Structure 1
Amino acid sequence: MNRKLYQAVGRPLAPLYSFMMRVREQFYRNGVLATTTLPVPVISVGNLMLGGTGKTPLVQHLARLLQRHGFQPAIISRGYGGATKERVNIVSDGRQVRLEASYVGDEPRLLAETLPGVLVLTGVVRKLPAAQAVEMGANVLLLDDGFQHLAVRRDLDLVLFNADELAGNSRVFPGGDLREPVRALYRAHAFVLTGVEEANIARAVRFKNMLQEKFPGKQVFFSGSRAIGLVRQDVNGQRMQVLPKELGGRRCFAFCGIARPEGFQKTLKQLAIEPVAFKALADHHVYKERAVQHLLQAAASARADCLLCTEKDLVKLRGLAVNCTLKLPLYGVIMQAAPESSLDKLVLNYAAGKKQWLPQT
């Protein structure tokens, strides 16, 4: 069932889901459901939309920013797509990466691999890994995909919108793309429009103006996104950063399992990489040996001589590369968020406890 048909079928149920989310929010607001306050600043990076809004690159950027300014950040994630049922999972203790993507999810593993010195912990009940991170020495927490996780009080709530998708059809799931009704945005402290570029800047400005009109007092920031290079991963999982020119003249079979595959295709065009074939898989796709063999068969049919994917896909292919005798070179694209410097300043102020405004209710 395609997306539009699914939403048309689900539209009659959307008011019920919307009502349930409003009731849940009120339960937290009125103390019926408990909210945990942690002894260090908590910065949430989340969204209102289903699907990808560029949270992972922004969390990477903020973790590095905090590190550079002397903080010891920890990233707390639910660990979506991981097999673990443990209440607390230490993906990285800041010195070494401990757990595989199949166990804790692709995004936490990617964050752990790319952020040396940063604690990365997962758990469905996020107050537990958050408390553990504080015990391990973290003095500021980044709550990854945390906007709907109201059980942990946050000092700064950033809500992201992708500049191409914005608010979608503005309807609540399952009749639309929203996780909650639009009024939930009153909880946010600030908004970040990600993936802003020349082609969508005019639309992004209009959306920014609308947000500022509807939610006065809340700042709106722009963030670009750029590919900064490639990484080659061998069959043993060892990675080496390489220049895009290494793919010059090669026949690449590109694939990805992310929410917005069209975004990856756009990135490849910006890198002047024209794959001989492209395969879009489901978001958080679980790579098993049979699936990898199918990819290899598709690559062979296209007469490709290398494979190309996102970094998020790359971390899930490490163990399978050996078992599936992955003979073709495997590359991943390294993405980096480039937000306005004023967003960096805001985050550093909150991390230091210098709040610039109180949440509006």
Structure 2
Amino acid sequence: MKLLRKILFPFAILYGFITTIRSFLFDKGILKSTSFEVPVIAVGNLSVGGTGKTPQIEYLIRLLSDRYKVATLSRGYKRKSEGFVLADSTSNAEILGDEPFQFYQKFPNIQVAVDANRINGITELLSQKEKPQIILLDDAFQHRKVKAGFYILLTSYGDLYADDFMLPTGNLRESRSGANRANIVVVTKCPKDLSAQKQEEIRSKLKLNCSQQSYFTFIDYDDAIYGKEEKIAVDEIKDEPKLLLAGIAKPTPFFDYLKNEKDECLTFPDHHNFSDSDLALIQSKAQSKKIITTEKDYVRLKDSKLVSQLYYLPIKSTFIQNQQNFDATVLEYVKINLES
């Protein structure tokens, strides 16, 4: 695979040229970006997959939803519906996609919508009788047709955009210079004990401008797993044989947190739609053992025949330091734009 990526280097140069021209046209106003009357916060990345967008969106929901009417708008990756869909009691992961359905289930006090056309999606949300005061755009850093008021760019500690290259040789969707649009850059999935010196080294490598803020977060795992009707402490199940199941971009940390030498790990592609044959395979490997999966996968599997032995492990994004500064910056942006 590495050799193939190197062979495809000329295509990476071409792709980089095309995306750079596109960004230039948007920056100069030759291609139109649409702004909206409400604060719009876009969360995304420069690379494909695995930077922790979902826990970051959930962090923002927790920060904002007690103060304001919040809506999330996602593409709804791999959903089986089309166009604009506003989540309601009839919704499921097939209609919304796994991550938006997860938002809907966890945060009943917000609006959750999906639409590949973000302009149409925002317009539809603002036409609702109970229209949101704030819209969180999920995975929309490259969606230049919408001009968000605030951009949060995520880059993973183990795969910094500064060390990466354009697709297909690397994993970047656009040039590293695209990071200049960000108001805040969050380095995700860091070690909990990341030193101040290492943080400064990373900031230097990212080459942020003087107006940009940077923060460092780690993935914090819950101390319990959750099933349909029960909660069990991780310490109670750590040593028992179990099947660990993940259909996410980078499952290794999830496996490492739970597994012992008696466990079996089963991996599926990110956003995987589980078929009947997949369920049969999972059941045959699990037998009577507990099946522990990610929260994102659980929303796809919770109505399946596996439910009696199925559990999930929640995660959240936690700041190593300066969380109050991050919160204050986001809240100040929202306050100013709601008052204007």
Instruction: Extract unaligned runs of 5+ from structure 2.
Output: none
Answer whether contact 1:232 1:329 (CA < 8 A) is retained: no
- Partner of 2:23 in structure 1? 25
- Partner of 1:122 in structure 2? 114
Q: Does 2:336 match 1:353?
A: yes
Where in structure 2 are the equivalents of 1:250-269 lying within 5 Å? Answer: 250-268=240-258
3-state secondary structure, aligned to 1:353: helix
- Structure 1 window deviating more from structure 2 (130-139 vs 285-294): it is 130-139
Give distance in 2, aligned partners of 1:63 and 1:104.
Answer: 18
Give distance in 1, aligned partners of 2:17 and 2:122.
Answer: 29
Instruction: Note closer, same or farther for the CA distance 1:64–1:176 as it changes in structure 2 (3 Å cut).
Output: same
Give distance in 2, aligned partners of 1:263 and 1:147.
Answer: 25
Instruction: Note closer, same or farther for the CA distance 1:327–1:182 as it changes in structure 2 (3 Å cut).
Output: closer
Superposed CA deviations along residues 285-326 of structure 1, whole A, max 9, x for unmatched, are 1111111111222224xxx6110110000001133x1xxx32
- Partner of 2:204 in structure 1? 209
3-state secondary structure, aligned to 2:161: coil
Q: Offset at 1:240?
A: 4.6
> Residue 69 of structure 2: which of 72, 88, 103 is its match?
72
3-state secondary structure, aligned to 1:74: strand
Where in structure 2 are the equivalents of 1:168-247 lying within 5 Å? Answer: 169-198=163-192, 200-201=194-195, 203-211=198-206, 213-234=207-228, 240-247=230-237
3-state secondary structure, aligned to 1:286: coil
Superposed CA deviations along residues 253-276 of structure 1, whole A, max 9, x for unmatched, are 00101111112123336xxx6661
TM-score w.r.t. length of structure 1? 0.85
Superposed CA deviations along residues 225-275 of structure 1, whole A, max 9, x for unmatched, are 2112444334xxxx6544324425532100101111112123336xxx666
Q: Does 2:273 match 1:286?
A: yes
Equivalent residue letter for 2:205? M
Q: Offset at 1:279?
A: 1.5
Superposed CA deviations along residues 57-106 of structure 1, whole A, max 9, x for unmatched, are 110111111012x1111101011111112x211124xxxx4421122211
- Partner of 2:300 in structure 1? 316
Superposed CA deviations along residues 145-199 of structure 1, whole A, max 9, x for unmatched, are 1100111111111100111222274210111011111111111111001122246
- Partner of 1:276 in structure 2? 263
Equivalent residue letter for 2:97? G
Answer whether contact 1:253 1:275 (CA < 8 A) is retained: no
3-state secondary structure, aligned to 1:352: helix
TM-score w.r.t. length of structure 2? 0.90
Q: Does 2:97 match 1:105?
A: yes
- Report the number of matched residues: 332
Answer whether contact 2:40 2:148 (CA < 8 A) is retained: yes
Answer whether contact 2:183 2:213 (CA < 8 A) is retained: yes
> Residue 297 of structure 1: which of 281, 284, 287 is its match?
284
Equivalent residue letter for 1:291? D
Q: Percent identity, aligned pairs only?
A: 27
- Partner of 1:159 in structure 2? 153
Give distance in 2, aligned partners of 1:262 and 1:120.
Answer: 29
Superposed CA deviations along residues 109-140 of structure 1, whole A, max 9, x for unmatched, are 11111112111101010112212222332001
Instruction: Note closer, same or farther for the CA distance 1:29–1:167 as it changes in structure 2 (3 Å cut).
Output: closer
Give distance in 1, aligned partners of 2:187 and 2:267.
Answer: 24
Give distance in 2, aligned partners of 1:177 and 1:333.
Answer: 28
Q: Offset at 1:7?
A: 2.1
> Residue 142 of structure 1: which of 132, 136, 140 is its match?
136
> Residue 334 of structure 1: which of 308, 314, 319 is its match?
314
CA RMSD of aligned residues (A): 2.2
Equivalent residue letter for 1:175? T
- Partner of 2:86 in structure 1? 90
Answer whether contact 1:268 1:274 (CA < 8 A) is retained: no
Answer whether contact 1:255 1:309 (CA < 8 A) is retained: yes
Instruction: Note closer, same or farther for the CA distance 1:168–1:31 as it changes in structure 2 (3 Å cut).
Output: closer
Answer whether contact 2:180 2:208 (CA < 8 A) is retained: no
Instruction: Extract unaligned runs of 5+ from structure 1.
Output: 356-361
Instruction: Note closer, same or farther for the CA distance 1:116–1:173 as it changes in structure 2 (3 Å cut).
Output: same
